[in-house]
């Protein structure tokens, strides 16, 4: 493979962003000369640190025909490098009393270690090494390809709900890569090879495509010094492609699907709508959708639960979901699990009628106030989790948001009005951008 690293001794300057306090979070941000962004979130209550490297490269950035290569490469990065034996990074973390792992999503791939704060330098040395010095063998390629195929067997192919979600997602997106499963389509996973993995690695695994997030018992000056020493000497990739994705054409027709499987234990109705994501500097609409989901299906006191589970007893479970953390358009979805003796059509009709009644009734302001109060409380509790803090910033920054957007989000949520929620619901929840799916047993009748 091409080696893209030259260990220089030059000290690179950084541009500091002023540290700010968001609630109790003390956040500092700086950028190395090679383009790598570093975010430090201080919490000195326990001698623990979370060290994470996030790459702006996920399954939606994969070349066509190579679905699953981002996740495949994530596995391969635990193999050997120029200085580490295969598996040595993880065994070193464990020997030092820490834990490590990695994960892949549509918009990012992230690697992390949670360990005692005095081991931070060791983590940076190993993580920066595998950013550029991976060494793969054909045995690695074959072995890990078998591993990811077995992972697909366990998590998707042997789970009718996962297969149903996969098909629903593929129908929701006509043209965008979000319609391709993160783990990949099996027939394409089976053909992934050394060239595919190293091509993705050589293109996207570079400091100017990465974000380092360090949270916990750390000093920003120390993090700056270590980041310069270990990451700052890695040259940027001058050929890093612009992050352009295929765009969705206008969706003008509601779509339906029925998925039948003899293994289905509990049939249900799911409906999703294409919806806007959180946009940098403009998160108000996403905040309204977030609160709409909480009001409609955020628990046993929600509108759908009161109407369908308790009043009508049409359903044993209801939910509404919105995940605005996404680089491109995301989804807003409903789920209704019907009670015994209630057909899927009856459950779907009840969902439509109840949602229409919600729009007619308007938002219960007392319920909205309770939700906002709960959100404030959850923000406070979240500060006790260095893992959650690092994840929040990493996911946001790889999804096109900024540190300032993350800090502004809680206040934006608090400022959303009942009128804004209803107006956003009427604008976004439209039939032509919907996919309605029925998950059924083989023997069930659809009508």
**Domain ranges, residue 155:** 14-230
Residues 201 and 279 in one domain: no
Residue 278: pLDDT band (50, 70, 90) is very high
Residue 213: inside a domain:
yes
- Residues 221, 281 within the same domain: no
Q: What is the pLDDT of residues 306-333, one digit of tens each?
A: 999 999 999 999 999 999 999 999 999 9
Residue tagged active-site, from 25, 42, 62, 74: 74
Find the mean pLDDT for residues 276-282.
97
Q: What is the pLDDT of residues 92-150, one digit of tens each?
A: 999 999 999 999 999 999 999 999 999 999 999 999 999 999 999 999 999 999 999 99
Domain count across the chain? 2
CATH of the domain at 115: 3.30.830.10
User: 384 pLDDT band (50/70/90 cuts)?
Assistant: confident
**Does the pLDDT of residue 36 top 90, yes or no?**
yes
- Residues 305, 156 within the same domain: no
pLDDT digits (tens, 9 = 90+) for 412-443: 999 999 999 999 999 999 999 999 999 999 87
Question: For the residues 390-403, what does the mean pLDDT come to?
Answer: 96
Length of the chain counted residue by residue: 447
> 235 lies in a domain?
no
For residue 9, tell me if it sits in a domain.
no
| Domain stop point among 230, 246, 269 | 230
Percent of the chain past pLDDT 70, that is, above it, reads 94
Last residue of a domain, one of 214, 230, 246: 230
> What pLDDT score does 275 carry?
98
**413 within domain boundaries:** yes
Judge whether 419 lies within some domain.
yes
Whose structure tokens read 């491109």?
Answer: 328
pLDDT of residue 117: 97
Looking at the fold, whether 279 and 160 belong to one and the same domain comes out as: no
Examine the domain organization and report whether 320 and 413 are in the same domain.
yes
Q: Is the pLDDT of residue 8 over 50?
A: no
Same domain, 259 and 206: no
74 a catalytic residue: yes
Work out the angle at residue 84's Cα, subtended by the Cα atoms of residues 81 and 86, and round it to the nearest 5 degrees.
Answer: 80
* Domain co-membership, 308 together with 354: yes
User: Are residues 352 and 432 both part of a single domain?
Assistant: yes
Residue 5 pLDDT class (50, 70, 90 cuts):
very low
Residue 378 has pLDDT above 70, yes or no: yes
Please give the pLDDT value at position 286.
98
Same domain, 220 and 260: no
What is the 3 state secondary structure string of the chain?
Answer: CCCCCCCCCCCCCEEEEEEEEECCEEEEEEEECCCCEEEEEECCCCCEEEEEEEECCCHHHCCCCCCCHHHHHHHHCCCCECCCCCCHHHHHHHHCCCEEEEEECCCCEEEEEEEEHHHHHHHHHHHHHHHHCECCCHHHHHHHHHHHHHHHHHHHHCCHHHHHHHHHHHHHCCCCHHHCCCCCCHHHHCCCCHHHHHHHHHHHCCHHHEEEEEEECCCHHHHHHHHHHHCCCCCCCCCCCCCCCCCCCCCCCCEEEEEECCCCCCCEEEEEEEECCCECCECHHHHHHHHHHHHHHCCCCCHHHHHHHHHCCCEEEEEEEECCCCCCCEEEEEEEEECCCCCHHHHHHHHHHHHHHHHHHCCCHHHHHHHHHHHHHHHHHHCCCHHHHHHHHHHHHHCCCCHHHHHHHHHHHHHCCHHHHHHHHHHHCCHHHEEEEEEECCCCCCC
> Same structural domain for residues 222 and 260?
no
Same domain, 166 and 81: yes
More confidently predicted of 394 and 378: 394
Q: Is residue 20 part of a domain?
A: yes
326 and 192 inside one domain: no
pLDDT for residue 23 is more than 50: no
**Residue 63 resides in a domain:** yes
- Could you tell me if residue 67 is inside a domain? yes
């Amino acid at each position: 493979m091409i080696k893209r690293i030259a260990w220089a001794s030059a000290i690179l300057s950084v541009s500091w962003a002023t540290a700010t306090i968001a609630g109790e979070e003390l956040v500092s941000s700086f950028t190395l000369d090679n383009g790598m962004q570093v975010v430090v979130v201080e919490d000195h209550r326990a001698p623990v640190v979370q060290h994470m490297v996030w790459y702006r490269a996920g399954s939606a950035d994969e070349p066509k025909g190579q679905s699953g290569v981002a996740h495949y490469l994530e596995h391969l990065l635990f193999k050997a490098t120029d200085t580490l034996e295969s598996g040595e990074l993880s065994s070193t973390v464990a020997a030092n009393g820490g834990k490590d792992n990695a994960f892949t999503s549509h918009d990012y791939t992230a690697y992390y270690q949670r360990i005692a704060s005095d081991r931070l330098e060791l983590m940076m040395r190993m993580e920066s090494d595998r950013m550029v010095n991976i060494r793969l063998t054909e045995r690695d390629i074959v072995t890990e390809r078998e591993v990811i195929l077995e992972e697909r067997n366990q998590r998707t192919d042997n789970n009718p709900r996962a297969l149903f979600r996969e098909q629903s997602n593929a129908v929701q997106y006509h043209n965008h890569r979000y319609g391709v499963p993160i783990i990949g389509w099996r027939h394409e996973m089976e053909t992934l090879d050394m060239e595919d993995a190293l091509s993705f690695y050589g293109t996207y695994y570079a400091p100017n495509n990465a974000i380092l997030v360090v949270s916990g018992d750390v000093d920003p000056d120390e993090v700056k010094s270590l980041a310069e020493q270990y990451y700052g000497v890695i040259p940027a990739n001058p050929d890093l492609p612009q992050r352009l994705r295929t765009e969705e054409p206008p969706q003008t027709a509601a779509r339906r699907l029925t998925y039948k499987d003899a293994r289905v234990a509990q049939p249900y109705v799911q409906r999703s709508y294409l919806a806007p994501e959180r946009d940098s500097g403009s998160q108000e609409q996403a905040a309204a959708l977030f609160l709409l989901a909480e009001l409609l299906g955020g628990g046993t006191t929600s509108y759908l639960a009161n109407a369908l589970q308790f009043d009508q007893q049409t359903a044993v479970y209801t939910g509404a979901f919105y995940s605005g953390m996404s680089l491109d358009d995301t989804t807003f979805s409903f789920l209704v699990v019907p009670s015994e003796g209630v057909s899927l059509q009856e459950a779907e009709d009840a969902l439509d009628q109840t949602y229409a009644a919600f729009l007619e009734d308007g938002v219960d302001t007392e319920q909205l106030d309770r939700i906002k109060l709960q959100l404030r409380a959850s923000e406070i509790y979240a500060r006790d989790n260095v893992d959650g803090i690092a994840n929040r910033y990493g996911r946001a920054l790889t999804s096109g948001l900024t540190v300032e957007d993350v800090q502004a989000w809680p206040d934006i949520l608090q400022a959303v009005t009942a009128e804004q929620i209803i107006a956003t619901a009427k604008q976004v929840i439209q039939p032509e951008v919907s996919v309605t799916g029925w998950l059924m047993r083989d023997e069930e009748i659809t009508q």
